[in-house]
Structure 1
Amino acid sequence: MWSLLFCGLSIALPLSVRADGCKDIFMRNEMPSANQPFAFNCTFPPVTSGEVSVTWYKNSSKIPVSKSIQSRIHQDETWILFLPIALGDSGIYQCVIKGRDSCHRIHVNLTVFEKHWCDISVSGLPNLSDEYKQILHVGKDDSLTCHLHFPKSCILDSTMWYKDCNEIKGERFTRLETKLFVSNVSPEDRGNYVCQTILLHSGKKYRVLNGITVSTTPDFRAHLIGGLIALMAVAVSVVYIYNIFKIDIVLWYRSAFHPTGTIEDGKLYDAYVLYPKPHRESQRHAVDALVLKILPEVLERQCGYKLFIFSRDEFPGQAVANVIDENVKLCRRLMVIVVPESLGFGLLKNLPEEQIAVYNALIQDGMKVILIELEKIEDYTAMPESIQYIKQKHGAIQWQGDFTEHSQCAKTKFWKTVRYHMPPRRCPPSPPVQLLQHTPCNCMAGERMGGGHEVRHALVGCLSLSGGSQLEEDAFHQGSLL
């Protein structure tokens, strides 16, 4: 008898020591609803992946949970199963996982609540659990899942779905096993849902209910992609609109926000006008009309720019090279007029004026160049390399006009393009009426204006307003009247 007792103690003592020496893995808090089935699986890879034995205990009891399927609380393989769970089942349950050379323990803290679910036969608002929270993405096809975790011995019947105590019906909703599929999700689909299923175990039926709080949502990726696409569309639209209305936008900005005062860059003129002397009478007349009449009328009189035009603004008797060299350096732009006939006699090959002007503009000062075609020029290969370079870098503006009064309006497309390439003017031009009223007075005030080409501008204006002939003006430009 004593030897049997000793043998029993020798077996039980090592088991107690090993149980007390188990390593605690973690503590889980579970809050199930009373009066319905509940199950918890004791698994923790890789601890439970090998050959191990799993035993469930309640609280600090050394007596394992029953494994009889007839017991309301019993162990089913690695699961602990409550059929159903009751308020008195609250407490701490231990799952002991023993391997050949290891022992681990998982604690489960059960807090059982009495939860009033939606009763289909009784009216009233439900007190739904927020145990599960799920999200439906607006504008997409999405689904909700009824979380049912039970061992294989439990058979689950079809699942019913309710929202705010009403059974969910309609073409947008499809039930499949434990899922509810929702097509074309809308914000109205958020709310409180209940999924209900029937659990079969050992010939008995149990009702299982899960409450789900559903919210709808910025799908982040869809909204991000949509936002990027919208941003790109806006950027492309802005660039497109700007390219179309770029000239008008820039001119409006200059007009609305133009600075006052003078530009402190040491320049006296806004542009130096370089133009050819064609042999054909018709072309020479067109060039003279554009350079000596229309350019001053629009850019100087209407827009307030100051131009230097060779053969109009230099002093008689000055050396041509000196005039050009000095005045090009005083200009902010170089305006080059080209005609098809220029290809024949070689623009910039023979005329020192053209050579010096382009050299100063392109090589020394890096001056911006405005290239104006009096007629459409298809081929620039016969042009000097400097003109070809200007054409390639800055492009060309083709003259659009017929030398009538309409062509002298600064608001036409051609003049808007020229003004866009001109430097921003600092001071607004005087009204045309004021110019007409004050010009005759300036005629008699030549000595007070300081002489030079400014005197000649006033005298030319006098000749024009007093009915002077074109011949007198031409002679004046040649210096005979001085």
Structure 2
Amino acid sequence: MTGLAPRCVLLLLLAIGVTMQHNHSGEIDTYHVSVGHVFLLSCLPDQTEVMWSRGDGPTETLPTDVEVRDGLLWFLPVEMSHHGAYICEKRDETELLKRTFRVSVSNEDCPDPSEDVVITEGIRGGLPCKQTELFGLGLVRRIRWMKDCNLEELDKEFISADGFMWLPAVSQRDAGKYTCLTDITIDGRNYTTARSIQMTVKNGAPEVFPELQVVKPQEDVFIVQVGKRAELQCLAYTGFSESEEIIMFWTIDGVLTDAYKELNESWRFIHNRGKVYGQSNLSISIVRHQFLNVPIHCNVWSPVEAKFGLARLKEADPFDFHVIVTLCVTASIFILLMATFFFFKVDLVLAHRKLTRHFSKPQVSHGKLYDAYVSVVQSNTGQLTETAKFALQILPEELEKKHGFSLYIQGRDGCPGEAIHDAISAALHQCHTMIIILSPDGKAKGTRSLCETQLLYEQEVGLYDALTQNDPKIILVEVDGPLDYSQLPESLRYIKRKQGALKWNNVLVGTNKLTTFYSKRNFWKNLQYHMPAVPVRRLHPVP
């Protein structure tokens, strides 16, 4: 053994005001052991290719019942003749690492202490068993403690799985020599090991600390997969300021995390609304079976008290895991399909219509002769405005000639001499859709012309039927710029709020012809999307 406390325990003892001293002779670590006990020396963190010898040089051979196993020096068991110095050496590419140990052998059941521990009276503390390597090898069967060579009767909750003995607030009568006894089995034979620590209690008023409180975990169960990574987090209230004497560490089934290479922990103080919390993370690189269904404690210590948070790991049910994965994949596919449909809805619907037209049978037109009624103001001078040119030339060219729709445009399709209002009403009732074309100059100023009166009547009849009977369907088209809808009837403002409007611009946007091309292309696709699925010419096939 190294004679040094595990990292967490060492920090813990320092945090509660404990000082530790090693008996050194120069740079030699001295250990006191008893005859008949097993003793173990560990030289370096990396035990591979370590050379052990007796005395002052490599020529000294190791005594009987002392052997090297995986770089560790075992005394199986200790004899009086084993008293003396032992040297370990390891040479790498740059230097020679060397360490010397002195083993002092006695006949007592409780050997002399190798360390001194000083604790302030009234402070909660603890003593390590100092058998780190044995616990790491999984050889320990039973742990016992003696005080002044008398066996102590302790409840199990006062001794952790790695032998650490918890102490309540100490008093002067707790001072003395404490010996940790561990019963182990090696090669089918039972042995005992013993290490002693001298504890001294000094007078002094302990510092006042706020009451600790573990926020999480609190008997939480975490679902994990064996062989996969997992991470636990502990959060504890520690007061209103950071204190170097508060420490957090984890144990798994009572063993410090240093015993497992898969475990790595870290902790820090965080501030929230004037309060200070300790936050500790336990990272598990690979979840092993032995980590499942055992208590995992987050330990929070101050010099006056200790609090614990409890967590357990539970293996995920394979069936539940596959169900969750299936649901996640299905949900991802569904979201992807919905996003695809949202962004390409118009293209998908138009492609579906085009495909079904080749296979669908002629349908009933329900008395409709036209796909759309086009409502637009025309000039009294006989000259075509840009808006009228769009309605009389561009719109028919695209919808009628290229896609087979049938349009009714007043002024182009009406009969001379017929009653205008009756013709408008009859035509509207024979159309599936009403396209209302609006432009910034579409509202005339001063006295209304005959064309404007006609337009108002078209919109009045069409909008009334659309709002009351949902027939015809209304399509708003804005030509050459935004409109001030506050100057238009409430019915048109309602349609605009409910379904929006398509926008057409006859003028190129700057010099970017490509942008204008795609803008007009999208306009025609969206207009087709709002038009009837099957043009009336398909509903009335030629015999």
Same fold (TM over 0.5): no
TM-score with structure 1 setting the length: 0.43
Structure in which a larger fraction of residues adopt strand: 2
Larger radius of gyration, structure 1 or 2? 1
